[in-house]
């Protein structure tokens, strides 16, 4: 019998969309390209020396235990460290029993969806939303409901309508410096959401990978701190230490932990033991704030630089967000332009961004561009935005001429 | 509304069985316990010093790249290393395009099941089978069909019957030193299976984590080498280097790679970059055979010691396997004894094993015990088997007396 692989592929797998970012990275990962497409932290600030020292220490004091199988829930001292850090920051009372260490916060998304969603059931998220979440969740074939994101955060009226209409009890969102928009929920939205979660019995999957890279404005409580019984809070060391380490965590109500543990065991037994101990050692021997201070300062400079370049080079018709942290600016083109087309032209000019469509489960986003500023120098930002601005201006002139011609005839 | 978490848990999650091993480890992880329950490699042979040197090197030469996000398919030089190693060993022609690096081989099981199985569809595996596979697969709610394992490997007649009856096209198995039984498929079974895979269009998920720890007999071709178009071959560095690193791989037909890549991206973006480069450096700078030679020698000694102890201390009624590699011996009690009951008594005597039931998706295994020899010293093996032997002897006498009494009355 000849092999027909397609006939063997599951509905789950077929439902997972490709990642534009990962596809494009393989094309544009060349030094001559200016990339605003990735979500890569700036490697200048990776603490290479400190990690070397930390590794030496753990191998000297505890080498064999470091290389052995370990607890599924994660390295206890690291879980304790997370509690101490955030209990201080937000005046909370979380304990290591609330924490499970994951293989990056992407795994936390996969796990929470596996925990809650039966195929065909409703799942709510922001509109637009993180494409990695759309990918992870798609494997479980939910019925997606995207809910408008305003400048103050998720639209709670629309949320309530969707809950009443669909009976959905699972909501995914990124309250801090959302990916892709850079928008943050304000304090009022967080408080109102916390009340709504109780009222309708909704579980909120609060994705918070950019928590530590706020460079402007006041730090705001995670929704978890306002309603710890109805929230699963997902954090990451990707931005705090480095993304190549693939370490994150979920902070969840204790009642859910036995379920999350079974899911973790089934998925990969436990998160890399070496890396968990390495991070813990690094965090004990260094003040993470020293490292974070540099990162925040650099990202603010890069963000400011991109905003300035946009103001200078983009035509007036383009609107854009101005985030207080995180790594992304979200720009909106006039309705007669198309970012899928624009990105093709941009690649010819050796500059690349992510067109908006990847962030929608609906047929939307044709006017949007996600621009990452964290992994480009000021010179590259200035040059890349200039090239994009020229392309947009040309496209606008072209469209207006076409319209004029079609009106003339 | 009061929180009713149970009502939110998905069918997937509810279907994942608890891991006896992981449950028992938390009870028996004390120095006074003799544990034959785990599947832990012997930490004596973990190459701590070499790993320290390798880490220093990668951070010095390539520290920043090591800490950045990386390719979903895995670190190219490591994939090339795997190809070179096994192409030489088995005269194959695999290329890095066939390889995807996973977060331990447990993740390969999760991913392949996500790739192929829609809920309710048939999935074939050996009887008994690896409990971690049963866990991973359960999340996808297949209809399990366990197929008898003989001393020469999986029973191909029964396999054919199940295929004809259920239409199943997915088979999972461990041809080398199976977990839990220690049984290996002989060469004939491998060849015949390779033909059957073609005939019925079956995909074989060939789990091969113990490949490198054969300490007796002749090395045999993986089924992948005999039929690379119908096999996904899953390997692991857990036994070759150390399990705490959580690194394994799948070797699959190229046609399946785009699907596996989407699944990997959705699950956790990519496997830990630091660890992939660390393993690669270690493998380049050291001859893995030096390390493996020591491990094999030690495991053979430990296995021989356990077999001798069983011969000396277990009553004659107990049968057992005598593996040529791997980490497990599978013992079978007389039908009137129960290994669930025996393990409770054993825990009182501070010795522990895994009762057989965990390895069945059917209501079987009450007479079986999985005994791990890789993580105990010879003294502990001798002492632990003696204690178990005494318990079994007592249980046999007790059962015979009960029977005698019931016959008397």
Is residue A58 a contact partner of residue A277, using CB atoms and an 8 Å limit? yes
Rounded distance between C-alpha atoms, residue A105 and residue B223, angstroms: 36
Give the residue from chain A lying closest to B260, CA to CA: A13
Rounded distance between C-alpha atoms, residue B57 and residue A330, angstroms: 40
Give the residue from chain B lying closest to A111, CA to CA: B267
- Give me the pLDDT at residue A22, please: 67
Question: What's the gap in Å between the CA of B250 and the closest CA on chain A?
Answer: 14
Residue written as tokens 């209809």?
Answer: B143
C-alpha dihedral (A39, A44, A45, A49), degrees to nearest 10: 130
**Vertex B42 angle, CA B39 and B48, to 5°:** 125
- ipTM at complex level: 0.92
In this structure, chain A runs to a length of: 409
Rounded distance between C-alpha atoms, residue B54 and residue B182, angstroms: 33
Rounded distance between C-alpha atoms, residue A386 and residue A85, angstroms: 41
**Rg (chain B; Cα; Å):** 22
For B14, phi and psi rounded to 5 degrees?
-60, -25
Pull the structure tokens for residue A238. 């990707």
Rounded distance between C-alpha atoms, residue A250 and residue A88, angstroms: 18
Nearest to A13 among B9, B114, B119 (CB): B114
Rounded distance between C-alpha atoms, residue A67 and residue A63, angstroms: 6
- Give me the pLDDT at residue A38, please: 84
pLDDT digits (tens, 9 = 90+) for A263-294: 999 999 999 999 999 999 999 999 989 889 99
The DSSP code for B180 is: T
Question: What's the gap in Å between the CA of A314 and the closest CA on chain B?
Answer: 30
Question: What's the gap in Å between the CA of B126 and the closest CA on chain A?
Answer: 18
List, in sequence order, the alpha helices (H) in A68-155.
76-90, 104-116, 131-138
Is residue B257 a contact partner of residue B97, using CB atoms and an 8 Å limit? yes
CB atoms within 10 A of CB B290: 10
- Give me the pLDDT at residue B243, please: 83
Residue B356 makes CB contacts below 8 A (sequence gap 6+) with: B128, B180, B339, B364, B365, B366, B367, B368, B369, B370
- For residue A70, list chain B residues with Cβ-Cβ distance below 8 A: 244
Over residues B252-272, the mean pLDDT reads 95
Residue A370 makes CB contacts below 8 A (sequence gap 6+) with: A36, A37, A179, A180, A328, A329, A330, A353, A354, A355, A356, A359
Model confidence at A402, pLDDT cuts 50, 70, 90, reads confident
- Give me the pLDDT at residue B25, please: 67
Rounded distance between C-alpha atoms, residue B67 and residue A42, angstroms: 11
Among A5, A39, A71, A113, most B C-beta atoms within 10 A, so best to mutate, is A5
Question: What's the gap in Å between the CA of B158 and the closest CA on chain A?
Answer: 20
CA-CA-CA-CA torsion sign (A278, A215, A41, A20): positive
Question: What's the gap in Å between the CA of B22 and the closest CA on chain A?
Answer: 8
Helix axes A48-67, B48-67, angle to 10 degrees: 140
Over residues A95-107, the mean pLDDT reads 96
Question: What's the gap in Å between the CA of A170 and the closest CA on chain B?
Answer: 9
| CB contact (8 A) between residue A38 and residue B69 | yes
Rounded distance between C-alpha atoms, residue A117 and residue A122, angstroms: 8
The helix (run of H) or strand (run of E) holding residue B80 is helix B76-90
Nearest CA-CA partner of B231 in B82, B96, B98:
B98
**Rg (chain A; Cα; Å):** 22
| CB contact (8 A) between residue A244 and residue B273 | yes
Model confidence at B90, pLDDT cuts 50, 70, 90, reads very high
| CB contact (8 A) between residue A263 and residue B139 | yes
- Give me the pLDDT at residue B362, please: 96
Pull the structure tokens for residue A250. 């979920």
Residue B114 makes CB contacts below 8 A (sequence gap 6+) with: A10, A12, A13, A139, B140, B263, B267
pLDDT digits (tens, 9 = 90+) for A324-347: 999 999 999 999 999 999 999 999
Rounded distance between C-alpha atoms, residue B45 and residue B339, angstroms: 32
Rounded distance between C-alpha atoms, residue A315 and residue A298, angstroms: 27
How many percent of chain A have pLDDT more than 90? 84
The DSSP code for B12 is: H
Is residue B62 a contact partner of residue B277, using CB atoms and an 8 Å limit? yes
- Give me the pLDDT at residue A224, please: 98
| CB contact (8 A) between residue B68 and residue A243 | yes
List, in sequence order, the alpha helices (H) in A139-181.
156-166
pLDDT digits (tens, 9 = 90+) for B278-319: 999 999 999 989 889 999 999 999 999 999 999 999 999 999
Nearest CA-CA partner of B44 in B325, B242, B213, B327:
B242
Q: To the nearest whole number, what is the mean pLDDT of chain A? A: 94
pLDDT digits (tens, 9 = 90+) for A219-242: 999 999 999 999 999 999 988 888
Nearest CA-CA partner of B100 in B88, B114, B111:
B111
pLDDT digits (tens, 9 = 90+) for B319-358: 999 999 999 999 999 999 999 999 999 999 999 999 999 9
Helix then strand count (H, E) for chain A reads 14, 14
Rounded distance between C-alpha atoms, residue A114 and residue A40, angstroms: 27
- Give me the pLDDT at residue A191, please: 98
Over residues A3-26, the mean pLDDT reads 84
- Give me the pLDDT at residue B81, please: 97
Pull the structure tokens for residue A362. 């609906």
- For residue A135, list chain B residues with Cβ-Cβ distance below 8 A: 262, 265-266
User: Taking 70 as the threshold, does the pLDDT of residue A409 lie above it?
Assistant: no
User: Taking 90 as the threshold, does the pLDDT of residue B3 lie above it?
Assistant: no
Rounded distance between C-alpha atoms, residue B79 and residue B279, angstroms: 11
Please state whether beta strands B248-251 and B231-236 pair in parallel, antiparallel, or not at all (unpaired): antiparallel
Rounded distance between C-alpha atoms, residue B303 and residue A376, angstroms: 57
Give the residue from chain A lying closest to B197, CA to CA: A1
Indicate the range of A91-105, A143-157, B44-58 predicted with least confidence. Answer: B44-58
Rounded distance between C-alpha atoms, residue B21 and residue A269, angstroms: 11
- Give me the pLDDT at residue B1, please: 54
- For residue A106, list chain B residues with Cβ-Cβ distance below 8 A: 266-269
What's CA B171's distance to the chain center, in Å?
Answer: 15
- For residue B50, list chain A residues with Cβ-Cβ distance below 8 A: none
| CB contact (8 A) between residue B8 and residue A198 | no
Rounded distance between C-alpha atoms, residue A90 and residue A175, angstroms: 15
Rounded distance between C-alpha atoms, residue A233 and residue A251, angstroms: 5
The DSSP code for B251 is: E
Rounded distance between C-alpha atoms, residue A39 and residue B69, angstroms: 9
How many percent of chain B have pLDDT more than 90? 84
Question: What's the gap in Å between the CA of A62 and the closest CA on chain B?
Answer: 9
Taking one residue from A and the other from B, the number of pairs with CB-CB distance under 8 angstroms is: 264
How many percent of chain B have pLDDT more than 70? 97
What are chain A's domains?
Answer: 9-46+290-408 (3.90.1150.10), 48-287 (3.40.640.10)
Model confidence at B22, pLDDT cuts 50, 70, 90, reads low
- Give me the pLDDT at residue A19, please: 75
pLDDT digits (tens, 9 = 90+) for A113-127: 999 999 999 999 999
- For residue B110, list chain A residues with Cβ-Cβ distance below 8 A: 266-268
Rounded distance between C-alpha atoms, residue B322 and residue B330, angstroms: 8
Nearest to A72 among B22, B102, B256 (CB): B22
| CB contact (8 A) between residue A273 and residue B115 | no
Q: To the nearest whole number, what is the mean pLDDT of chain B? A: 94
- For residue B272, list chain A residues with Cβ-Cβ distance below 8 A: 103, 244-246, 272, 275
């Amino acid at each position: 019998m000849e092999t027909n692989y397609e006939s063997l592929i599951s509905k789950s797998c077929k439902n997972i969309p490709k990642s534009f970012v990962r596809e494009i990275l393989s094309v544009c990962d060349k030094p001559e390209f200016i990339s605003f497409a990735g979500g890569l932290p700036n490697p200048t600030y990776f603490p290479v020396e400190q990690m070397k020292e930390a590794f030496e220490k753990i191998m000297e004091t505890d080498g064999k235990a470091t290389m052995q199988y370990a607890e599924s829930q994660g390295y206890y001292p690291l879980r304790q460290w997370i509690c101490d850090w955030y209990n201080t920051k937000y005046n909370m009372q979380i304990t290591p029993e609330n924490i499970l260490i994951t293989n990056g916060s992407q795994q936390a998304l996969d796990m929470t969806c596996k925990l809650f969603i039966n195929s065909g059931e409703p799942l709510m998220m922001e509109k637009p939303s993180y494409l990695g979440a759309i990918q992870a969740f798609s494997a479980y074939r939910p019925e997606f409901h995207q809910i408008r994101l305003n400048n103050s955060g998720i639209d709670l009226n629309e949320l309530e309508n969707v809950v009443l209409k669909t009976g959905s009890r699972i909501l995914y969102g990124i309250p801090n410096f959302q990916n892709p928009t850079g928008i943050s929920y304000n304090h009022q939205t967080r408080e109102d959401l916390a009340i709504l979660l109780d009222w309708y019995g909704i579980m909120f999957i609060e994705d918070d990978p950019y928590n530590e890279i706020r460079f402007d404005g006041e730090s705001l409580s995670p929704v978890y701190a306002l309603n710890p019984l109805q929230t699963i809070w997902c954090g990451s060391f990707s931005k705090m230490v480095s993304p190549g380490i693939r370490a994150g965590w979920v902070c969840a109500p204790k009642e859910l932990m036995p379920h999350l543990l079974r899911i973790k065991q089934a998925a990969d037994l436990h998160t890399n033991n070496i890396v968990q101990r390495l991070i813990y050692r690094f965090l004990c021997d260094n003040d993470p704030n020293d490292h974070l201070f540099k990162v925040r300062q650099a990202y603010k400079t890069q963000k400011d630089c991109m905003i300035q370049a946009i103001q200078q080079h983009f035509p007036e018709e383009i609107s854009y967000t101005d985030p207080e942290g995180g790594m992304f600016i979200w720009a909106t083109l006039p309705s007669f332009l198309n970012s899928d087309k624009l990105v093709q032209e941009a690649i010819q000019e050796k500059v690349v961004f992510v067109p908006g469509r990847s962030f929608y489960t609906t047929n939307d986003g044709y006017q949007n561009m996600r621009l990452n500023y964290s992994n480009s120098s000021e010179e590259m930002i200035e040059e890349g935005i200039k090239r994009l601005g020229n392309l947009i201006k040309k496209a606008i002139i072209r469209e207006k001429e076409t319209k004029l011609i079609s009106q003339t005839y």
